[in-house]
Structure formats: C-alpha cells, structure tokens
Amino acid sequence: MKKVVSIIVLTLAFCYASYSQINVAPDNIAVYSGSSEEKIITCSVTTTGIIANYLWQKKTISTDWTVVPLNNDTLKLSGLTDDCYYRCIVTIGNWIIDQYVYLPYYSDTVTVDVLPAFNPGTINSDPMVCFGDQAAFVFTTAPDGGDGSYTYQWQSAKSIILSPFILSGDLKSTDDLIPVDPIFKTWFNISGATSNTCVIPKITSNRRYRCLVDGGAGNVSSNEFTIILDTVKADFTPDNASIIAGGSVQFISSCTNTTSYKWDFGNGMTSTEKNPSTFYYTAGAQDVQLIAISPDGCPDTLLMDSAVVVTEELGVADYYSGSGPSIFPQPAANQLYFNLNDASEATITIYLVSGQKVMEQKVANNASIDISALPSGAYITHIDCNDGKRYIRKIIKE
C-alpha cells in the first residue's frame, strides 16, 4: 500500500505541475485612498483540467489571509484605505488513474499600494471668447494628494452648446446635454498640452475642455469647462443698391448679438447708428463695411463689395429755369444766390463730393450765402425747402 500511495502522489504532482498554471494581472496596483474608481485584477488559468471554483483572498500587513466573497475570475477594487495584498485560488479537477481529483492552485500575490486621497484640482478660463481669439486655462485649485508628483494631459471634445446659456463654465459633466452620437462624447488629447496650464491659440468653435491629472495611481479628470464662442454676426442690406448720383441709401442692419456698430460707407463718411443713411455723389461701385460689436466687445466684420452702384454723375448748370430752385452764378467765387421758386426759405447744406459736410446755413428766397472761405473745387448742395421738398445741385467754387 505504501508503494502505491507514493506513486499516486508523484503522479498528481506531475499532472498539476504540467497542466495547470494560475496567473494574475497586474501584479502591482496603486490606488487613491477612498477612491470610488474601480481597479480590476484578473485571474487566468492555463489547464487541461476542469475548473471547479475561483476564490479570492486578501491580507494586510497586520492580518492574515481572509476570504473575499467573490467566486469569478475578476476582482474589482474600490474604496480602499490601507495597503493590502490579494491572491487568486482556483480549484481544478484532473482525471487521475480512475477518478477526478480536485486540488487548489494559488496565484502569485498582487500588491496594492494605497496612496493618499487625491483631488485633481479645478480648472478655469474666460467662458466667452471672440472668434479667433486664444483661450488660456489655469488651475484655480491645484491638485492635491496622491504621491505629490503630478503629470498632466489636457483634452478637448465637441460641444453642442450653441448659445451662452451656460456662463459659469464649471460643469462637471455635460453628458445630459450631449446627443447619442459618439463624436460628442469622445475626448481628444491636445498635442503638447502636458503642463499645469494650457493655451489654445485660436478658438473657432464651441468646445469642452478638461485636464487629466495623474497623481501616481492613474488619471483623474478635473472639472469639465465649456468655451462658448461669442455669437456676434455682422449683416446688413442696402435699401437701394442702385442710385443716381446725389441719392441717398439707408443700410438696414440684421446683425445678431450686437450692441454697437461701426460703418464705413466708402464715400468718406462713417456712422455708429444701427440703420444709418448716407449720400453718394460719385459714379461707380461703392464698397461698404460694417463692424458689429457684441456686448462682450467681440467684433465681427462684413465687407460688402459693390454694395451700392451709383449710375451717373451730377452735371453743372445754371438753374434759372425748370423744376425746383436754381443756383447762380456757376461757377461762383464769393457769393452764391438761390432762387427758391415757390418756397420762402430753405436750409442750404454743402458737402464735399466725398460726402463730408462743410457748411450749413438758412437762406430766404433770392438771398445769398458767402462761400469765399471754401477751397476751389466741386461741391454738392442740398436745398431743403420749407415746403418739405429737397433738391440736390452740384456747384463749382472758383
């Protein structure tokens, strides 16, 4: 009997050593104290036998091995507060001689280092930026805990926020605002952004930003911050895109998110009104530019080529007859006389051909104004009669 038992023991030892191997991965884990993030240890078996059961055990520096209430090949760890060790025990059956024999196999020990509780910090920036401007991110609350040595990786992701209804910029997560399309939930590493500050040189779309901070036991995300582009948009329409020289054009603004306006009409005149008007006296195409400025000071510029086409020049003549008032003499050196026909009084406004006003004066019918101080050249005169009619004449100053 002793000889037979000895043979069986040798055979069992040979079978188990040859056909069964227990592996655990990883063999060392670092976690943050009290962290709810799960760390996973897996147990794998190389065997030709039948696996009957998995069993996990845990011990600390001051305690012996105790059973973890789990019976599968994966162990999930979270909420740990002290260094500890784990191992996997697998019971495997092999056919030995004429029966199955089940024996336990022990894995190597997995060491779990518990680091101090870790806070990845809080990032901040200006939540509203102008198109094309840079955005700078900083930590307003620095990372704390872990092993005290931190690495950083800044990331960005698409945002569906199209209006400035979120101004605080301190969202922890925008998952509820993001559609099912995975592209809106995919974070991308920002190349080279691996310090505790991040500068995006040119913002051209609404995006979300965050920083992954590793304090020795893996990355933890900072708060999520959403950058929202200012929605200012310059747009306008001329009420008449084709006029005769001396005619006026009103420009109707259709800007969005705009509180102030800077117009350049291409005729030497400018305005800050919302829906301004101007006169054109020189034939040709006139380019008009509008700079719309938002409440936050962001500009948007629209340059409309050939916004107005002036089709003919005003002529020079002595207006002694025909419709409306007449001006004489033409050309004039010192005094310019006005025959107002049926009107008794008029306001005379004289402009440079570029549109700049140089003189304004009220006159009675058949009275004159002194133009001796004006430089020689061509001028446009508006005659606003007290009967409500306006007339435009071109004059030459000698």
SS (H, E, C) 19-50: HEEEEEECCEEEEECCCCCCEEEEEEEEECCE
Asked if the model's pLDDT at residue 22 lies above 80, the reply is yes
354: its two tokens = 């570029």
d(CA 206, CA 227): 6
- The whole-number pLDDT of residue 18 equals 39
Contact between 291 and 262 under an 8 Å Cβ cutoff? The reply is yes
Please say if the pLDDT value at position 318 is more than 90. Answer: no
Three-state DSSP state, 127: coil
**pLDDT score for 378:** 87
Across 341-373, b (16+ Cβ under 10 Å) vs e yields bebeebebbbbbbebeeeeeeebebebbbebee
pLDDT, tens digit, for every residue of 106-139?
Answer: 999 999 999 999 999 999 988 888 999 999 999 9
- Mean pLDDT value across the chain: 85
Model confidence over 379-393: pLDDT tens digits? 888 898 998 888 888
Which residue(s) pair with 233 in the sheet?
A: 256
Mean pLDDT of 355-381: 91
Beta bridge partner(s), residue 171: none
DSSP state of 8: H
Please state which architecture CATH assigns to domain 236-310: Sandwich (2.60)
* Percentage of the chain lying above the pLDDT 70 cut: 83
Looking at residue 393, its amino acid is: R
SS3 sequence of 174-206: CHHHCCCCHHHHCCEECCCCCCCCEEECCCCCC
Residue 288's DSSP bridge partners are: 304
pLDDT exceeds cutoff 50 at 162? no
Q: Is the pLDDT of residue 11 over 80?
A: no
Show me where the domains of the chain are located: 2-115, 122-229, 236-310, 326-397
Give 321's pLDDT tier (boundaries 50, 70, 90): very low
Using one digit for the tens of pLDDT, what is the confidence trace for 72-90?
Answer: 999 999 999 999 999 999 9
Is 236-310's fold the same as 326-397's? yes
What whole-number distance in Å separates Cα of residue 187 and Cα of residue 34?
26
**All residues at 6 or more sequence positions from 311 whose CB lies less than 8 Å from its CB, including other chains:** 242, 243, 244, 245, 283
pLDDT of residue 280: 87
Residue 236 bridge partners (DSSP): 253
Q: How far apart are the first and last CA of the chain?
A: 142
Task: Name which residue leads in pLDDT, 322 or 45.
Answer: 45
Element (H, E) at 2: helix 2-19
Q: Span 305-313, mean pLDDT?
A: 88
**Predicted pLDDT at 53:** 87
pLDDT bucket at 174, cuts 50 / 70 / 90: very low
Q: For domain 122-229, give the CATH number.
A: 2.60.40.10
pLDDT in tens, 181-227: 556 678 999 999 999 999 999 999 889 999 999 999 999 999 999 99
CA gap 114, 147 in Å, rounded: 10
How far, in Å, CA of 222 to CA of 216, rounded? 15
Reported as a single tens digit per residue, the pLDDT across 239-257 is 999 988 878 899 999 999 9
Sign of the dihedral through C-alpha 329, 330, 335, 341: positive
State the average pLDDT over residues 256-263. 96
The CATH code of domain 326-397 reads 2.60.40.3080
Its CATH architecture, for the domain 2-115, is Sandwich (2.60)
Q: Is the pTM of this model over 0.85?
A: no
> CA quadruple 142, 144, 147, 152: dihedral positive or negative?
negative
DSSP, collapsed to helix, strand or coil, labels residue 4 as helix
